Structure 1
């Protein structure tokens, strides 16, 4: 029960308005029916949460290192505010400087404050170990994390040092800017099922602030207990904020009979089975919901009558409608949505909403479409995933060719998970080398780390950074790309064919693993030699020429074979080509891979497309061996790479620039030093500006 409005003083220059409850607690946000509300001008009004998720790390670091500085946060808050976002969601406790920076930024801001949702990370390792969310070990660890999170938010705790977690003196009270509590992580369906089975006879939970309905599962009772414990910590500080827990489509309460993977629809975690019993700030449901997974989105026919504004069947829109309808009377937020702007893709989605394979403009278009669907269907908030690119992330179809525990030290353009951000984290030379067919920027680099390599065709200038190898050259004559193609063969590891059919009898002293082709009459792409090809070695269903020396397109798997659960139809293995090289004159600069103007050649090649598993330690994927583990690829340390350029004239059917036999002495090795520290340039992507326009235009 409430009694009066009040102003709560923060610092000396900024005040936030809150309502005072009968017990003396303050409340700035609450849920009411299916709305999320904010207290302003001594009254409550609906607030659509225009949010963004924020990770806790930077390139060259893993999350537990927590390297983000106060200056980073302040700079980011300004950009996020400018974007039109009103709420930042963090998944776990950040260092003290996060809370200090947020309060400092808000005290200096002229407009509305920038709010945040505080997440509490699950003790996932203990949960995996016990297989039981209700075990005492899990409960104790989770409640301690809630204690620490509450202390961090309200600035009244000293968290001791612990590997992989934030620590230090938390002395800044950020409570007035807290929008909600967000408990937990995406739940493993196996853990949910195991917990329910082990505790099927346990009574439903009933606490001081939260309880469950009679039909709640043991796992849902466990969540209610955690929410109740969080509310208890809030009450001690004289505050109430809305509560939620993380959920996702895999454990949603809807039935998906056309989902081909049983695990993706085996058990549900139902937010409607949890109730607030004495919590004025209320409670809401929260889901991570992407348009490309689980697979029922691709195969269901239950949304055939749901059309988007373009008149096309839109299964993501249909799903959102069902999800919103199910939670009638309860606010629902989509707390993760979006697609990555990566070269590699990890899953196909309807209407081109794939998990990767997008330009930054395509990323923005798909994110804006999803935002509009979420907003128009009456959800109470939409939080984009994510703010900054995260190099440490792993992607299932890039993992076999990567060196484990080294992901953060280089940018893998093939790994979709690394490129969800709207703030791009570009490798260190992204601003130094502009791929445009002009060499002015190379002249500025020459005194630094450019290596000149003389070949029979032309001198090559080479340099590299955390994401790419860069090459420039002056060719012997102007190139007519409608009649001629420029090739560069790459020798990176021992092995390979020394007589590729493409070279028409030219004998190589060392075999080539990959080959770059730049052309107007052929596709410009990176090709791979069949016996070296990762894709056909990993997946027996993958198709390739199989003919040694006949270089073939570079592909990645996006779906393993499936079976439709209703029709029993076999759904075949799927893959996509990822080796395309984008000409600068046809794309935006961030996507440009090559350009030829007159005699000038300029290009960049992603390390991943050259076969490297970790260029920072000079590790590349090796050829097959008897020791190769199933589902993995052998790695070896190399000295460097050797580049062999030539020109193919289609009218004369001639190879220019190579004469047999080709000696490796004529093509010096490009070498580099191993690195442990990374350089990067942060810059807002095109998707940032597209989302900015969409967020600022929602109310209109």
Structure 2
């Protein structure tokens, strides 16, 4: 009898596996409501009358270009067509968008995919409007629930080509192109902030949810049950209106919470001081939102991960371990919805190997992205999306947002702001090329560019949406072992010094900045201490408490290095304590060839030294400009203890060359700044694009 039971069990298992294999490999032709589904920890797509495992290789795309903000949706259909082609050529098979795009994008996607055997698919984001949260609304409250449902309905209608979608008064476009056949699934919500999740847990009773398509059990937080309810609404509305089902994903909170809860099970909750609540979670765990049989597609988890130094430090500086632990936690597919590294002169906290190095150039960006991609692949996640395809001039970073006019940020490019530079495609100033590149040629400089000259030296100047350019030409060859070169710039009429005792220099006008070129490795820009924004904010609180102790004067004789904070003081779990904030001397100049057409191109180069010339480009942010398009700089910090704009018309520029006891001086001359209403720009695929393209194509060939 025992033997019979064993044999029967084996036969039953074999039959069950056989039936499961048939179901896995059979196309959804008997039920054309869906063409994607999950099975275990993988995503499958119906193709050629069978189910094939589908690994997402994707890129995030936003409606961003210079001169406009994302909400304006002014990217044209032909632009989207070109960008989709670039993404496809790179080896990607999927695009992810964070919210409803303009009809131009969906029209372009339809045109691009027409008659393609292997189309490029779409993961459509459905955004949760954070602006309400800043006003103190409960995410689960009736008002936000209705706002969220309205956005779900709006997006479902739009991607299915419903031309009568006028539920939102700001929607005036006709979404009459049905691209639902390319939609793999929807990501519902955003990566919610810890304090918002704690607040909503306090405001709402914890209870499970059971809907038609999704449910939660008693392990779920009240917010996870709420998100299940919203996902249930999405699935129900799409099926009822359009007879279609798609994958549904929820954006999990920072992966630290998941990894931490695996290794320290007792620490997966935040305790109130009085222990009134013992399960108050400050993270969203997609694993707690489960699919019922009526949802034939399934649920997957999405995580947005930016491998900065401080985040990876939590995981033993091991990217493989980092993604492996996330993957191991889940029983549903895991997709890395965003991973990005900026190519910027100030790259924030993303220099993992050398946190004291301020910049990441395009080549380093590409190499780092490729390494992260390979780590994700090794973890067997169901796919990933690079953040992002193109740079976003309108973005601001935590360490620069107070120093600029935010509603003018889309009109100029700030290489000091790392969040503008995550793209694989750059928008460079100029219709076809930039007006100048520090490199091994000076043919772009004309006679009319000369600002001042004598028998030995001439200085030429230009400016555009990204830099102030200078070119110094000498009658004899340069020898910086014997010569010291100084350029003095007078920007603000509110302060400045007519001399620098520390450098033994005298100027025609009170100067605010000194550019010191002495060799390839130690050249830098110094700022007048009274106009030193970094030091002002370092001492702001003390100065406000005791203004009588302020020693700074508008004409003080002191110039200082220019620093920027790249990492705030923060608690690091693996260290068991706080890591000090990190600052970087951003005024230190990077030597190299800045021409993208040259083989030794370095995207972050500031200056180049030729036989008898020096080319230099200075980022606007380094000179305390708040908006160069309207010629506005930062005003006197000490007048009102805040950063306010001041309009100027020109910069006075002088040059001093010292060789032993000899001094050659070009007197300070006014350079009239050019302003602009709309920026000119051209697209340029970065070095990182080609590195990633090579990685993706080689990976596909290796399959």
TM tier, smaller:
0.7 to 0.9
After TM superposition, the structure 1 = structure 2 runs for residues 13-24 of structure 1, keeping only pairs within 5 Å, are: 19-21=28-30, 24=31
Report the counterpart of residue 487 of structure 2 in structure 1: 488
Q: Is the CA contact (8 Å cut-off) linking 2:507 and 2:654 kept in structure 1?
A: no
167-176 or 569-578, which deviates more: 569-578
Greater Cα radius of gyration, structure 1 or 2: 2
Report the counterpart of residue 105 of structure 1 in structure 2: 112
Alpha-carbon distance between aligned partners in 2 of 1:25 and 1:183, rounded to the nearest angstrom: 23
Report the counterpart of residue 696 of structure 2 in structure 1: 695
Q: Structure 1 residues 108 and 681 mapped into 2: Cα distance closer, same or farther (>3 Å)?
A: farther
How many positions carry a matched residue from both structures? Answer: 647
Q: Structure 1 residues 653 and 290 mapped into 2: Cα distance closer, same or farther (>3 Å)?
A: farther
Deviations 1:626-679 (A, max 9, x none): 4113xxx23311121111112232xx1543226xxxxxxx43321234322111
Q: Is the CA contact (8 Å cut-off) linking 1:187 and 1:251 kept in structure 2?
A: no
Q: Structure 1 residue 219 and structure 2 residue 223: aligned? A: yes
The one of 632, 637, 649 aligned to 1:619: 632
Deviations 1:135-172 (A, max 9, x none): 11111111111111111111013344968x65411111
Alpha-carbon distance between aligned partners in 1 of 2:40 and 2:187, rounded to the nearest angstrom: 19
Q: With structure 2 as the length reference, what TM-score do the two structures score?
A: 0.86
Report the counterpart of residue 188 of structure 2 in structure 1: 183
Q: Is the CA contact (8 Å cut-off) linking 1:4 and 1:19 kept in structure 2?
A: no
In the TM superposition, what is the alpha-carbon distance from 1:208 to its structure 2 partner?
1.0
Alpha-carbon distance between aligned partners in 1 of 2:488 and 2:606, rounded to the nearest angstrom: 16
The one of 251, 254, 260 aligned to 1:255: 260
Q: Structure 1 residue 80 and structure 2 residue 87: aligned? A: yes
Report the counterpart of residue 564 of structure 2 in structure 1: 556
Q: Structure 1 residues 38 and 402 mapped into 2: Cα distance closer, same or farther (>3 Å)?
A: same
554-563 or 382-391, which deviates more: 554-563
In the TM superposition, what is the alpha-carbon distance from 1:578 to its structure 2 partner?
2.0
Report the counterpart of residue 3 of structure 2 in structure 1: none
SS in 2 for 1:26: coil
Alpha-carbon distance between aligned partners in 2 of 1:476 and 1:240, rounded to the nearest angstrom: 73
In the TM superposition, what is the alpha-carbon distance from 1:617 to its structure 2 partner?
1.4
In the TM superposition, what is the alpha-carbon distance from 1:355 to its structure 2 partner?
11
The one of 355, 365, 368 aligned to 2:367: 365
462-471 or 416-425, which deviates more: 462-471
Q: Structure 1 residues 405 and 641 mapped into 2: Cα distance closer, same or farther (>3 Å)?
A: same
Alpha-carbon distance between aligned partners in 1 of 2:281 and 2:100, rounded to the nearest angstrom: 31
Alpha-carbon distance between aligned partners in 2 of 1:187 and 1:338, rounded to the nearest angstrom: 19
Q: Structure 1 residues 254 and 591 mapped into 2: Cα distance closer, same or farther (>3 Å)?
A: closer
Alpha-carbon distance between aligned partners in 2 of 1:116 and 1:564, rounded to the nearest angstrom: 36
SS in 2 for 1:351: coil
In the TM superposition, what is the alpha-carbon distance from 1:437 to its structure 2 partner?
4.3
530-539 or 612-621, which deviates more: 530-539
Q: Is the CA contact (8 Å cut-off) linking 2:154 and 2:167 kept in structure 1?
A: no
Q: Structure 1 residue 285 and structure 2 residue 320: aligned? A: no
Q: Structure 1 residue 318 and structure 2 residue 318: aligned? A: no
Unaligned runs of 5+ in 2: 1-18, 272-279, 542-550, 595-599
Alpha-carbon distance between aligned partners in 2 of 1:250 and 1:357, rounded to the nearest angstrom: 26
Report the counterpart of residue 468 of structure 2 in structure 1: 469
Deviations 1:512-562 (A, max 9, x none): 2222222326612222222221111112499xx999544333221022334
Q: Structure 1 residue 60 and structure 2 residue 67: aligned? A: yes
Q: Is the CA contact (8 Å cut-off) linking 1:561 and 1:572 kept in structure 2?
A: yes
In the TM superposition, what is the alpha-carbon distance from 1:373 to its structure 2 partner?
0.3
Alpha-carbon distance between aligned partners in 2 of 1:513 and 1:145, rounded to the nearest angstrom: 50
Unaligned runs of 5+ in 1: 6-16, 305-313, 659-665
Alpha-carbon distance between aligned partners in 2 of 1:99 and 1:180, rounded to the nearest angstrom: 15
In the TM superposition, what is the alpha-carbon distance from 1:575 to its structure 2 partner?
0.5
Report the counterpart of residue 133 of structure 1 in structure 2: 139
Report the counterpart of residue 604 of structure 2 in structure 1: 591
Alpha-carbon distance between aligned partners in 1 of 2:357 and 2:185, rounded to the nearest angstrom: 29
After TM superposition, the structure 1 = structure 2 runs for residues 18-167 of structure 1, keeping only pairs within 5 Å, are: 19-21=28-30, 24-109=31-116, 111-160=117-166, 167=172
Alpha-carbon distance between aligned partners in 2 of 1:605 and 1:556, rounded to the nearest angstrom: 16
683-692 or 591-600, which deviates more: 591-600
Q: Structure 1 residue 297 and structure 2 residue 312: aligned? A: yes
Alpha-carbon distance between aligned partners in 1 of 2:255 and 2:89, rounded to the nearest angstrom: 34
SS in 2 for 1:400: helix
Alpha-carbon distance between aligned partners in 2 of 1:191 and 1:512, rounded to the nearest angstrom: 47
Q: With structure 1 as the length reference, what TM-score do the two structures score?
A: 0.86
The one of 630, 649, 653 aligned to 1:643: 653
The one of 229, 233, 237 aligned to 1:229: 233
In the TM superposition, what is the alpha-carbon distance from 1:348 to its structure 2 partner?
5.1
Q: Is the CA contact (8 Å cut-off) linking 2:396 and 2:406 kept in structure 1?
A: no
In the TM superposition, what is the alpha-carbon distance from 1:88 to its structure 2 partner?
0.3
Q: Is the CA contact (8 Å cut-off) linking 2:651 and 2:673 kept in structure 1?
A: no
Q: Is the CA contact (8 Å cut-off) linking 2:625 and 2:634 kept in structure 1?
A: yes
Alpha-carbon distance between aligned partners in 1 of 2:352 and 2:449, rounded to the nearest angstrom: 46
Q: Is the CA contact (8 Å cut-off) linking 1:64 and 1:166 kept in structure 2?
A: no
689-698 or 572-581, which deviates more: 572-581
SS in 2 for 1:474: strand
Q: Is the CA contact (8 Å cut-off) linking 2:253 and 2:283 kept in structure 1?
A: no
Report the counterpart of residue 498 of structure 1 in structure 2: 498
Report the counterpart of residue 609 of structure 1 in structure 2: 622
Deviations 1:345-387 (A, max 9, x none): 3225533489972000000011001000001111001100000
Deviations 1:102-147 (A, max 9, x none): 11111154x5101111111112222332431111111111111111
Alpha-carbon distance between aligned partners in 1 of 2:636 and 2:69, rounded to the nearest angstrom: 30
Deviations 1:179-199 (A, max 9, x none): 111111120111111111111
The Cα RMSD (Å) is 3.1
Q: Structure 1 residues 538 and 284 mapped into 2: Cα distance closer, same or farther (>3 Å)?
A: same
Deviations 1:582-639 (A, max 9, x none): 333595153333223232332211111122111111111233324113xxx2331112
Deviations 1:254-294 (A, max 9, x none): 427999xx99x97121111101112111110000012117x
Deviations 1:559-588 (A, max 9, x none): 233456797755323101223333335951
410-419 or 464-473, which deviates more: 464-473
In the TM superposition, what is the alpha-carbon distance from 1:454 to its structure 2 partner?
1.7
